[in-house]
């Protein structure tokens, strides 16, 4: 089944440039006191190599080109390329002040995004399913959401909602304050006809109540914190009642138990861990 939402497979140059400018300003890159003292106001040319210090799925070629847009890029590997420790990711030649003052911002981004892509790739390869998508969530770093969701796609995963206006997700707390779910869904559909409607259920009984009390087409159902057996029973009901509905599972699914959900007739597994628990990969910039 096709993804519910737009995928961040590529980021625009304008967006990357805007964010990089913001990050460099935060780091006072134009007032690098250490580099100023080291160079004594002299213009010095340098050649730096960006090097992987461990195995990873690399993300950030466009970021390197943006950060060092005024330097000579002799080599930049492609997004999604698998690196081993010691592999050269890129070679940059230019003003030493430029390279040194932008090093930390660049490496922070490359390390973070490559960590996300690498962990996502582990989940995708472990599951090894053409039918079930590994999905991200909104558990992202404020200010880095587009970058992090882009890294998920590089790792072979898929993007779920980008933000709260992208589509609806009725969870326990929403359902607790709704007096008439069917009326709420009708009003929603009238106002936002093209937005996806997704509802979270925790039990088979809750799922049956949902179908018995709603008349609006539901685009996706999230089966939350269910065992594989419970997921199988619920997915059978959904396939019968709403064949077009996207079935997603979430909650407590890890690399260790992921394969237990492989044969449950679902469309996606959302895993917040691929963004909020990803460990940054070690990457360095070293002058030749």
Annotated active-site positions, please? 104, 139, 171, 200, 224
d(CA 284, CA 278): 18
Measured in degrees and rounded to the nearest 5, phi and psi for residue 59 equal -135, 135
* Chain centre to alpha carbon of residue 193: 27
d(CA 273, CA 254): 8
d(CA 35, CA 102): 11
d(CA 229, CA 106): 46
């Amino acid at each position: 089944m096709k993804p519910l939402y737009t995928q961040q497979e590529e980021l625009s140059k304008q967006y990357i440039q805007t964010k990089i400018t913001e990050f460099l300003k935060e780091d006072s890159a134009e007032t690098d006191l250490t580099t100023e003292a080291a160079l004594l106001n002299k213009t010095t040319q340098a050649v730096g190599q960006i090097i992987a210090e461990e195995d990873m799925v690399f993300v950030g070629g466009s970021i390197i080109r943006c950060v060092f847009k005024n330097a000579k890029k002799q080599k930049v590997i492609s997004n999604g390329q698998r690196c081993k420790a010691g592999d050269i990711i890129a070679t940059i030649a230019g003003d030493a002040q430029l390279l040194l003052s932008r090093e930390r911002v660049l490496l922070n981004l490359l390390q973070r995004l490559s960590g996300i892509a690498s962990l996502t790739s582990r989940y995708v390869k472990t599951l090894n399913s053409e039918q079930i998508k590994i999905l991200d969530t909104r558990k992202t770093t404020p200010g880095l959401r587009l970058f992090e969701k882009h890294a998920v796609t590089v790792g072979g995963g898929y993007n779920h909602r980008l933000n709260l206006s992208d589509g609806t997700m009725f969870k326990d707390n929403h359902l607790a304050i709704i007096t008439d779910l069917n009326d709420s869904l009708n009003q929603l559909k009238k106002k936002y006809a093209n937005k996806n409607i997704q509802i979270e259920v925790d039990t088979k009984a809750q799922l049956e109540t949902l179908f018995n009390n709603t008349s609006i087409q539901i685009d996706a159902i999230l089966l939350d914190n269910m065992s594989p057996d419970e997921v199988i029973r619920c997915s059978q009901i959904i396939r019968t009642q709403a064949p077009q509905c996207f079935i997603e599972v979430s909650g407590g699914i890890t690399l260790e138990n992921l394969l237990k959900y492989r044969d449950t007739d679902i469309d996606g597994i959302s895993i917040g861990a691929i963004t909020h628990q990803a460990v940054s990969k070690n990457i360095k910039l070293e002058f030749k």
